[in-house]
Structure 1
Amino acid sequence: MSAPSWGRRLLRTCAALLPLVGTAAYGGSAHAAGLAGPDARDVVLVGNSQSGTVSFLDARTFANLGTFDVIPDLQQRLDQMDLIQRTGYAIVKQVEGGDRFVDDVALSPDGRTMYVSRGNLDDTVAYDLATHRQLWRTRLDGFHADHAALSPDGTRWVVSATTANEAQVLDTATGAVVGSFPTGSYPHQNDFTPDGKYVYNSSIGVVSMPQALEFLKGSFQLTKVDAATLKVVKTWSFPHGIRPNVLAADGTTFYTQESYLNGFVRYDLDSARTTATVTMPFSPAGHALAPDSYPKNSAHHGLALSGDQSLLCDVGTIDDYTAVVSTADLSTVGRVDYPTGSLPYWAVAGGQGGRYCFVSLSQADQVSVVDLGTAREVARVPVGVFPQRERLAQLPQSVLDSLSAQG
C-alpha cells in the first residue's frame, strides 16, 4: 500500500477515534415457532463478553446447559490486524475497560446457526452449533461491533458499527453486507418489529466524553427504518443517550432508560413526547458514585417487559438491584437487591410466556432470575466472565448435545 493511502487511512482513523482518545480517562429474539423441532428447548443465550463464550440457560429450569467458544480464532484475528486496525483495537479496548469479545448473539429460527457480533474485534461471525465450524466472518466499518438483531425470518442480521455511525445489514447465508442505514451518533440497540417490516435503532452518543460535555456527544436519536428498502421512515430526538429500551405491543408506547438517569422514561412515538419520567431510588453505593464514573454513562442499564405487558423489569446498574414496576401506574411493586458491585447490566423476559426476568450480573459472572409476578429472585446461575447481552431462542436437543460443559 502506498504511503499516501496509509496517510489517508490514518487520518480517517484519528477522526473516528478522536473523541475516545481525548477522554478515555473518564471512563427475546423472535423465532419461527416449530422450526427448531418438537424436541427444542426454550433457552436464554448469555454472551460472556470477556471470556468470549456464550452460555445456554434453560428458560424453564434455569440450568446452565453448556457453553460455546466464539473466539477460537482470536490469535489469528489479532495477528492479521494491520497498523490502523491495531490502533483502533487498542483505543477501543482502553475505553471499554478491557477486551469485550461478545457484544450480541442470536440463533437462527431452526436453532442450528449462531450469529455473534464480536465487540472489540469489530467483526461478526456465524457458527454451525453442531459442528462448531465457523461459517463466515465479516469485518464491519469502523472499530467496534455493537448490538445486533436478527430478522424474524432469519435472513438478515443487523449490527451497529458504532464508530462508523451506521448500522450494517448482512445476509445470514453468506455474511455479505447487503446494505446499511444512517443512525444517530454511536448507534447501539437494534430491534425488528415482530412482523419484520421495520427496524428500530437507538444511539447513545460518544460515551467516553464527560457529562459536562454532553452537548458534544452528538445526536441521541431513535431511527425507524423500512427493513425491505433500508430507507429511514422516521427519527425521534432525545435529550440524552438512549439506553436499553423496549417498544410495547401497541407500537407507540416506548420505554427507555437514558444516560445518567436513575430510572427510565415512557415516551409516546405518535406524539413524539415524554409522557412520564420515573426516577428510581439510589442505593448508598450508587448515590456516592459520580456521573462520570457510571459505566458508559449508564445509571440503569437493562429493561424488559413481561409477556402480558403489565410489568417492567428495570435494572439498576449502579445501584445493584432489579425493580419490578407496574406499567399501569408506574409504581414499584417489588425489588431484588444484589451484593454491592454485582453490576447488573442487561435484562430479557422469558420462560412461561415471559414470566421471568433474566438479569446479567456482569461483575459476579452470574445471571439472576427474577419472578416478575412475585418480584422475587428464584435462581442465581453461574455463567462465564462478564455476562452482558441475553437473548431468547430455541435449541434442538441434537444441537444441545454438542455443547461443552457449562461455563
Structure 2
Amino acid sequence: MRGRAVLVAVLAMAAAASAVPAVEAETSRRTVQTTSATAAVRDVMFVGNNWDGTATVVDAHTHRKIKTIDTIPDADARMREIVADPARLGFFLAIQQAIGEGHNQYTDDMFTTHDGRLVAVSRPSFADVVGIDLATNRIRWRFPMEGYRADHMGVSPDGRRLLVSDSTANKVHELDLATGRKLREFPSGDTPHENTYTADGERIFHASIGRVYTPTDRGGLEGDTSKGRRYLQIVRNDDFEILRRWDMGKELAEAGYPDMSSAVRPMAVAPDERFVYLQVSFHHGFVEFDTRARDRRRTYPGEPLRGKVRRVAYLPDRTGGLPREQYVLDSAHHGLAMNAAGTKLCAAGTMSDYAAIVSRETFRRRVVAVGPKPYWSTNGPDGDECWVSVSGNDTVVVLDYRTAERLRTLRVGDHPQRVRAGYVDRDIVRAWRS
C-alpha cells in the first residue's frame, strides 16, 4: 500500500511536466524480410526476465534453451540520466516500489524482425524501447518515451511496424521496427496496455487498464474515478482513426453483470475477428465480447454496430478469500491466448497459481497447477501449444491445448513476464553455440 501511495503522489507531482525527449535512432541497412518461411531463421520464444534485465531465448519446437541475452547493456548510462533528473528519479523509484514489487522493471515486451537479426525490447524502468542486435548484443537504436514508463507492445503482421504503449503519456507510439524511427501515434485512455493487430494488419485492438496501482480497489464512484479512463478500442491502421471505443464496465453492467471493472487486461481475438475475449481487473475468468452485435434497444437502422457482452466465464478463485487489495496490480488473472483453430483459450490464473485450458464453445475447463503467480500466456508458432510464464518461481510451463498436459517446464531468469514468439538468424544461433 505504501508503494502505491508513493506512485500516486509522484504521478500527481509530475502532471505538469511536459518535457519530451528526442528520439535516438541509428538507421539499419539490413532489409526486414516480410516472411519467416525461410531456412535462414529459427523459430524461437523470447522470455522476458523482467527483474533480471535479460531475455531467455528458447527453441520453439524442442523447448530447449539456446541463449540468455542482456537487455540492459546500457544500464550505467541510463542510470546516470535518471539520477540527474528529479522527476525521472521519482518515477523510477515509484515504479520500483509499487509496480515492480520492490524491483526494477527492465524487460517487459519483445518482438523480433522477420530476418531474426534484431529484437526490440520495452524497458519500463528506463522508459524506453531499444533495438538490440542479436549478433553483437549492442543497441542499434533507442526510442525514449514521452512519459515515464514503457509497457506492452504489438507488431504488425509483416514485421515492419512496432506499437508501444507509453504508460503515463496515455498514447501509443508506432515505430519502424528496423530503425526505431517514430512514424505515428494514437490516443488511449489512462495507462495504455495491450496492442493486438488483426491478421491482415488493417485494424488494431487496443486496451487501457487505468491506474492499477491505486489503493481504491472496491469500485463505486470514488474507486472508478481514481482508476481513470479505461477503454477497449478498435483503431484503423490506415489513418489511426479510433473506429470504436467501449467502457467495458458499462457494457458488462448493461448485460447484467454489475460492479465489474472497466479495466481490460490481456485479450485474445478470435480468428473471425468479431469476438474478442477479455480479462478484466479482479475477475477470475474472462468476458466474451461481440464487436459487431446490434442491440435492438439502442440501435437504429443505419447506425453503426454497438457491440455486446455475450457471456462471462467464471474460473476457480483459489485465493482463499485474499482481499482484492492484495492482488498484484488488480490482476486476478493476467494472460490469455487462443489456439490457432479458435476452439480453446489458455488463461493464466495469476492469483490462483494455475493455468486453465478452456473450451471456447462450452467454457468447460481443465485446470493445471503451474506454480506461483503465472503472469502471461501466449501461443507457440504452430498455435497448438500455450506457453505460460510463472513469475513466482522463475519458470515457463508449456501446455498442450488438446490435452491440457504439461509438455515442458523450463527454468529461466528472475521474474519472467512477457513471452513472445520470434525468430533468430541461424548463423547467429550457430555463433552463440560456438
Give the TM-score normalised by structure 2.
0.83
**Residues 73 and 138, structure 2, Cα contact 8 Å, conserved in 1:** no
Q: Distance in 1 between matches of 2:53 and 2:174?
A: 23
2:274 is the counterpart of 1:252: yes
Q: Distance in 2 between matches of 1:292 and 1:11?
A: 20
Q: Distance in 1 between matches of 2:247 and 2:336?
A: 20
For residue 309 of structure 2, what is the amino acid of its counterpart?
Answer: T
3-state SS of 2:78 partner? helix
For residue 47 of structure 1, what is the amino acid of its counterpart?
Answer: G
3-state SS of 1:364 partner? coil
Q: Distance in 2 between matches of 1:347 and 1:322?
A: 9
Q: CA deviation at 1:277?
A: 0.7
**Residues 14 and 87, structure 2, Cα contact 8 Å, conserved in 1:** no
Report the CA distance shift for 1:220/1:403 in structure 2 as closer, same or farther (over 3 A). Answer: farther
Q: Distance in 1 between matches of 2:76 and 2:97?
A: 19
3-state SS of 1:211 partner? coil
Which residue, 228, 244, 247 being the options, matches 1:218?
228
Q: Distance in 1 between matches of 2:154 and 2:48?
A: 14
Relative contact order: is structure 1 or structure 2 higher (C-alpha 8 Å, sep ≥ 6)?
A: 1
1:147-170 Cα offsets, whole Å, 9 max, x none, are: 001222232211000111111112
Q: Distance in 1 between matches of 2:108 and 2:407?
A: 26
For residue 384 of structure 2, what is the amino acid of its counterpart?
Answer: R
3-state SS of 2:110 partner? strand
1:194-217 Cα offsets, whole Å, 9 max, x none, are: 211222210111101221343121
The number of aligned residues is: 376
2:364 is the counterpart of 1:331: yes
Q: Distance in 1 between matches of 2:389 and 2:357?
A: 16
Residue number in structure 2 paired with 1:281: 316
Which residue, 363, 380, 384 being the options, matches 1:350?
380
Q: CA deviation at 1:41?
A: 2.1
Q: Which runs of 5+ in 1 are unaligned?
A: 1-9, 18-30
1:9-44 Cα offsets, whole Å, 9 max, x none, are: x99853279xxxxxxxxxxxxx94336x31432211
Report the CA distance shift for 1:305/1:12 in structure 2 as closer, same or farther (over 3 A). Answer: same
2:97 is the counterpart of 1:94: yes
Residue number in structure 2 paired with 1:45: 46
- Computed over aligned residues only, the root mean square deviation of the Cα atoms, in angstroms, reads 1.9
**Residues 348 and 357, structure 1, Cα contact 8 Å, conserved in 2:** yes
For residue 15 of structure 1, what is the amino acid of its counterpart?
Answer: A
**Residues 35 and 158, structure 2, Cα contact 8 Å, conserved in 1:** no
For residue 33 of structure 1, what is the amino acid of its counterpart?
Answer: T
2:427 is the counterpart of 1:398: yes
Which residue, 221, 228, 245 being the options, matches 1:235?
245
Q: Distance in 1 between matches of 2:13 and 2:146?
A: 11
Which residue, 341, 348, 351 being the options, matches 1:315?
348
Residue number in structure 2 paired with 1:296: 329
1:13-92 paired onto structure 2 within 5 Å? 13-15=13-15, 32-34=34-36, 37-81=38-82, 82-92=85-95
3-state SS of 1:288 partner? coil
Q: CA deviation at 1:228?
A: 2.9
Report the CA distance shift for 1:40/1:183 in structure 2 as closer, same or farther (over 3 A). Answer: same
**Residues 314 and 323, structure 1, Cα contact 8 Å, conserved in 2:** yes
Q: Distance in 2 between matches of 1:145 and 1:228?
A: 24
Q: Distance in 1 between matches of 2:411 and 2:16?
A: 37
For residue 202 of structure 1, what is the amino acid of its counterpart?
Answer: A
2:177 is the counterpart of 1:172: yes
3-state SS of 2:414 partner? coil
Name whichever of 170-179 and 218-227 sits farther off.
Answer: 170-179
Residue number in structure 2 paired with 1:262: 284
Q: CA deviation at 1:363?
A: 1.2
Q: CA deviation at 1:275?
A: 0.6
3-state SS of 2:152 partner? strand
Q: Distance in 1 between matches of 2:286 and 2:34?
A: 31
3-state SS of 1:163 partner? coil
Q: Distance in 2 between matches of 1:197 and 1:306?
A: 21
Give the TM-score normalised by structure 1.
0.88
1:109-124 paired onto structure 2 within 5 Å? 109-124=114-129
